[in-house]
């Protein structure tokens, strides 16, 4: 049987939120290759996986993926491209040795995930590679559960956007959609609070920090925030609810 790369969504942070399929796949794969966002840190996705599955005895690699902006249809930073290439070569080396490989990634692989960048890089190098995706619970679903507020109902329109791309698209999105999920807000929180205040949306916004983790925080008064928030922070703006 051809060895398989499984790109696995491990959810937002709580190991108990891994799907059964994700846990079984991690258990059965002898090799785990899990990205980390800091060259001196550890892989957060690997930590979540290890909270649900016994990883002892497995061959584990934690390649560094630089945390830099990626614009669709524009050139990618060379350091990011090289990281994808190195990870792809590592995966292919393991597959060619006859080993199944698991690549855990935060949340769901379909939503702003490193998994698809790896997938496209691997297929460019070896189109015959067998790859499967295992979905996970996205951060916004965990945020909704933490706040007991729906993301959308009925005919409401939903937008999910990264808040780090500071242009008029954020303003347009906030004025056009009924619910807006703002991801990666930690570096632009002050600007977002100013914009939400200007658009009279502050009372309709809630921030969830480290959703699904032990030290999860729900902050309903964004003006009371002092200091920085963690990288894993999401704002939900729901116009049809006061949050």
| Range(s) within the chain of domains with CATH label 3.40.1010.10 | 4-134
pLDDT exceeds 90 at position 111 = yes
Question: What are the residue ranges of CATH 3.30.950.10 in the chain?
Answer: 139-238
CATH number of 4-134: 3.40.1010.10
| HSE toward the beta carbon, residue 24, CA cutoff 13 A | 4
Beta bridge partners of 9: 105
What pLDDT digit, counting tens, does each position of 142-175 carry?
Answer: 999 999 989 999 999 999 999 887 768 899 999 9
Q: How many CB atoms lie within 10 A of CB 66?
A: 14
The fourth-level CATH superfamily of domain 139-238 is Tetrapyrrole methylase, C-terminal domain (3.30.950.10)
Max Cα-Cα span within the chain: 59
The larger pLDDT score, comparing residue 226 to residue 8, is at 8
Task: Compute the distance between CA of residue 173 and CA of residue 235 in angstroms, rounded to an integer.
Answer: 14
Query: pTM of the entire structure?
Result: 0.90
């Amino acid at each position: 049987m051809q060895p398989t790369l499984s790109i696995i969504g491990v959810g937002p942070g709580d190991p108990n939120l891994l799907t059964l399929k994700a846990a079984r796949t991690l258990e059965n794969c002898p090799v785990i290759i899990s990205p980390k966002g800091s060259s001196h840190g550890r892989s957060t996705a690997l930590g979540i996986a290890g909270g649900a599955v016994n990883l002892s005895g497995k061959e584990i690699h934690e390649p560094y993926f630089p945390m830099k902006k990626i614009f669709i249809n524009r050139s990618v930073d060379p350091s990011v491209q090289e990281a994808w290439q190195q990870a792809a070569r590592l995966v292919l080396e393991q597959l060619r040795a006859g080993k199944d490989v698991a690549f855990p990634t935060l949340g769901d692989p379909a939503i702003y995930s490193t998994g698809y960048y790896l997938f496209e890089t691997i297929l460019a190098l070896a189109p015959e590679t067998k790859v499967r995706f295992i979905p996970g619970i996205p951060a916004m679903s965990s945020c909704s559960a933490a706040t007991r507020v729906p993301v959308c109902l009925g005919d409401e329109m939903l937008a999910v956007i990264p808040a780090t791309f500071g242009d008029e698209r954020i303003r347009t999105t906030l004025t056009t959609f009924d619910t807006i999920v703002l991801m990666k807000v930690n570096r632009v929180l002050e600007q977002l609070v100013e914009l939400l205040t200007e658009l009279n949306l502050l009372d309709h916004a809630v921030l969830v920090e480290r959703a699904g983790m032990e030290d999860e925080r729900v902050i309903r008064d964004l003006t009371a925030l002092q200091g920085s928030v963690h990288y894993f922070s999401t704002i939900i703006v729901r116009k049809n609810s006061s949050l």
